[in-house]
A and B are shown apart, each in its own frame.
Chain A
Amino acid sequence: MKALVTVKRVIDYNVKPRVKADGTGVDLANVKMSMNPFDEIAVEEAIRLKEKGVVTEIVAVSVGPAKAQETLRTALAMGADRAILVQTDDEVEPLAVAKIVKAIADEEQPGLIITGKQAIDDDSNQVGQMVAALLGRPQGTFANEISVEGDSVVVKREIDGGLETVKLALPAVVTTDLRLNEPRYASLPNIMKAKSKPLATKAPADYGVDTTARLKTLKVSEPPVRSAGIKVADVDALVAKLKELGVA
């Protein structure tokens, strides 16, 4: 079974984003960029399934600028077999990304499509569900545990208040939550090897997908700032404050 994993190049998890002064977006110039953390988990899970002999080939896909090649090379260094970059400098919304992934899935016929549950830049949490909808296939979102059993995949999902398990007919789409696994670091030899793994570059038009934005961003602004309050000296002062708040 082939696995398709999607990866997005985003601002590094540890960098504090700064809003541009003109309100048009977040300043990404000279900012460290990395693979979206949830996508790292997706790549890792595909590799583990390959190590178990369930998956035979892993294809990593990214929709983004030329530099997203680096993100795909990271996926290849971790253990993906080949990569497809659908190159565009436009910001592509989840629905258009899903249409591209759907078109690639039609060509590649993967048994499993694994995506991060959301990207930490736009925080949309949509692509996996949309891919599943467009393919008419089942979805296991916010996965905490995955096991392939015959022609189905059993997915334990993180839900409000606990966990839920669903059984999906393959092919299926799974989106990853944090506790699914801990992604490996690529070793230096594997980083070298990744340079010679195949990476195809395509354009959205190759898949007949119109990436025109459906949502117009009118403005991006700083969130309301919370200012530091007071420090109290001891527990008695804290108790007094709690009483003022009416909670004690």
Chain B
Amino acid sequence: MPDLLGLLSYGTFFLVFVTIYGLVVLGLNLQWGFTGLFNVGVAGFVAIGAYTSALLTAPDYPDQIGGLALPIPLGWLGAMVTSGLAAFIVGVAALRLRHDYLAITTFGIAVTLQLVALNAQSLTGGPFGLQFIPKPFADVIADNLAWNLAYLAMAATLLGLSYVALERLVRSPWGRVLRAIREDETAAESLGKRAFRFRLQAFVIGCMLMGLGGALYAHFVGYIAPEDFLPILTFQLWTMLIVGGSGNNRGAVLGAVVVWALWTLSGNVLRELVPAEHQARAATLQVVLIGLLLMLILMVRPRGLLGEEAVVSRHMKDSAGEVQEE
């Protein structure tokens, strides 16, 4: 007899993570799917958001900087600002690089950030991380399930707002330039577009969403540590985008659902099947599984579950006639 309440509780927990990942993948989709920016440092920008919001909102931490006990919305806003600022600095320095070179650079930056989190004890709490990150409306809603549901509603609202805003942007002339740059930067520049400025804007906005995702994660779990932001996180998020469909915002969210479902499901199955002493090793099978999924998608549906739409400017719906699907 399945425990319905337990199932509901588990489902809520699962969906909160999906919405948080979905938010981050939307940011990545703006960068890669629409602008062609190869950002492999996603985990770093998620971490900046998570740590910023924690430091701004948590009660005073003894022996370390931060713990300003500010209201939670301010923490989230701060997370976006800090991630955006970091993206701006990284962008000015590195966005003149292309393709694999940008990938290597952003990857290095994310690894560096993770090491800073691990070692700058007076700021980040070092390997012990940051605890007592306040949970919003925890003082009003005592029941655990109800609180999870409330958090889910709020995270889903933020995801929805971001989705609507991004859809509006990518179907605007601004988004059209992004796609032109993705398709052929030299041609876009020969048509008078200052590519660097657009690349920087897309990079900063995408990283702000990643920062917000990090903050939502921090306040949901209530505790963050450097090991939450390892390169494997970047790998998972990229897989979500590629599986779902790069260049398609609905695909980005769908990818988050599919990949996270597979991840948790495989984790549970492995826990059931593998004897306790081999569990740590079995856990790495999850990574293998995700890798296999990625390869399978690339071979069978290289454009992802939902491929890119032949997007036309949102102002053109009436005159352009049918929007064509691949």
A and B co-occur in one complex: no
